[in-house]
Amino acid sequence: MTATTTPVSRSITKSVLSREQSEGVGARVRRSIGRPELRNHDPFLMLDEFSVDKNGGFPDHPHRGFETVTYMIEGQFQHEDFAGHKGTIGPGDLQWMTAGRGIVHSEMPVKSQTRAHGLQLWINLPKEHKMCEPQYQELLDGQIPRATPQDGVVVKVIAGESHGVKSQVYTRTPTMYLDFKMDKNKTVTQIIPSTYTGFLYMLKGTTFIGDKEFEGKAHHTLTFSEDGATTVKIQTKDEDAHFVFIAGEPLKEPIVQHGPFVMNSSEEIYDTFVDYQNNKNGFERARNWHSTIA
């Protein structure tokens, strides 16, 4: 007989508390990735947990060179861009926006709601896709598949794969984005490609990650070790937990960011400002455009 060995889990290398700060107009965000302690986590540029009342929001602003992924937890958010794309996402809904060569848009809470609460993730695009045409992938909560590895553990598969369930979302930068809800006293193992970097962001409760049971608490970002291990073991003990598990293939390219523009060199950032100010090379439709929802 041969003994079976339990795969070694990735461990946690850093835990960063996401402190609340102001952003946009009257909005409060808990910035995870993007803080000084965790400037970026290739291929991820930023993760914000946002909370916006009906008087706040993110009025007209541009993007180039990356993707924004908005995932609603409660309330509703409206979106409108300079190409006439307009819509509303509600609890559990997803908008995966590829800004590519240029988008100008507005993101505002629905005025009849008391609060809009969700996550926005910025994913870098590889050099060959930075100037691609903008694209949207939008899924309602009911269109996002679920995995149930055991009773009391439900995984929404927003991108990538979990326990045999695959997402339909196309990721130019290979990415997995999973929303876990776990009852207390549960243990689950998630497979992760050996080359991916990744992290957990805790929304509620407490988890214990890896073989050393590193404790993860609400509003903390917990980065995985980069040791080639292909599993992450996650446990709950005396309370339920809600968190997202995000991982992706690092691009290993230069990152030059100036606000909402992310390119590979300072020259490209300069060119982007020129393009934006002169309404060209992707920003043609920005001339005299103002959203109707801001």
Please tell me the distance from the alpha carbon of residue 239 to that of residue 218, in angstroms, as a whole number.
Answer: 12
For residue 107, say whether it is annotated as part of any ligand binding site. Answer: yes
* 3-state class (DSSP) for residue 208: strand
Query: Can you read off the two tokens belonging to residue 93?
Result: 């809904």
CA distance 145 to 155: 8
> Is residue 61 marked as binding?
yes
Calculated CA dihedral for residues 275, 281, 286, 287, nearest 10 degrees: 80
Identify whether the C-beta of residue 178 lies closer than 8 Å to the C-beta of residue 245: yes
**Looking up tokens 């497979």, which residue turns up?**
191
- 3-state SS assignment for residue 129: helix
Whether 128 has a binding-site annotation, put simply, is no
**How many CB atoms within 10 Å of residue 227?**
10
Q: Which residues are CB-neighbours of 143 under 8 A, at least 6 positions away?
A: none
End-to-end CA distance of the chain: 68
Consult the annotation and say whether 242 binds a ligand: no
What residue numbers does the annotated binding site for Fe cation cover? 61, 63, 105, 107
What residue numbers does the annotated binding site cover? 61, 63, 105, 107
